[in-house]
Amino acid sequence: MRYRCSPRIGEVMDEDVLHTRVPFVARTQQCFAVKAGADGLLDMARRSFCDTSEAIHSLANKYRQDFKLPNLKIPFNNRQGFYFSIPQKDIQGKLPSKFIQVVKHGNNVHCSSRELASLNVRNRSAAKECWLRTALCLEALMDAIREDVLVLTVLSEVLCLLDMMVNSFAHTISTKPVDRYTRARFTCDGPLAIDSGRHPILESIHNDFIPNSVFLSEASNMAIVMGPNM
């Protein structure tokens, strides 16, 4: 089953994308969770997301040079998006009028600009489109995997049976005297004959377990078992 599902998942999901708590990195990882080429509209949205992200950092570099603010930083949070952070010691007098929403924050001044606000809107819109297309790709992947649910169910039943036989019966029998249990012999047309039959698990649970002898044939085709063995 692993070999049937893994190629499908590997064709869609990018294995290099990992969960992170860093806000913008998390946004980027979500946009690139699906491999390139899986959805044309998703690829276009990602291109727009990358372009606006690069434009934001280019704008920050431009402001550093134009306004002589070498320590200007461009942090990000989920509520505001990108914003400028400028050390107060670098500000001589008042900030240029291009900066808006100026707020003092400790030893720094946080602010934005109309250009940055516009790029933030476009970047957020592109990210939302990426998430929408990613969700559609994942839904299609889940639909494809659901076709194998029946196989998964059968596989789980087989594994449960193996677990019972190997870890329960085999282990229990291996801890008992060698003559305590014998392997059954099957015939095509013979009767069912059990001499002092025991259930390995029930016997380990009940101290008063009573062995049962059973003989079933065409002439005697019913047996009633009573007592603690039930």
pLDDT per residue as tens digits for the range 111-143: 999 999 999 999 999 999 999 999 999 999 988
| Within a domain: 186 | yes
| Within a domain: 195 | yes
> Measured between alpha carbons, how far is 29 from 161 in angstroms, rounded to an integer?
41
> Measured between alpha carbons, how far is 80 from 120 in angstroms, rounded to an integer?
8
| Within a domain: 163 | no
| Within a domain: 118 | yes
Q: What is the end-to-end Cα distance of the chain in Å, rounded? A: 37
Residue 1 has pLDDT above 60, yes or no: no
Residue 5 has pLDDT above 60, yes or no: no
Do residue 190 and residue 88 come from a single domain?
no
Query: What pLDDT shows up at residue 211?
Result: 80
Confirm if 72 and 60 have CB atoms less than 8 A apart: yes
Do residue 16 and residue 86 come from a single domain?
yes
Query: What pLDDT shows up at residue 150?
Result: 84
Closest residue by Cα to residue 84 from 62, 66, 102, 68: 102
| Within a domain: 172 | no
Q: How confident is the model at residue 179 (pLDDT cuts 50, 70, 90)?
A: low
| Within a domain: 133 | yes
Question: pTM for this one?
Answer: 0.65
| Within a domain: 174 | no
Do residue 95 and residue 209 come from a single domain?
no
| Within a domain: 176 | no
Arithmetic mean of pLDDT over the chain? 86
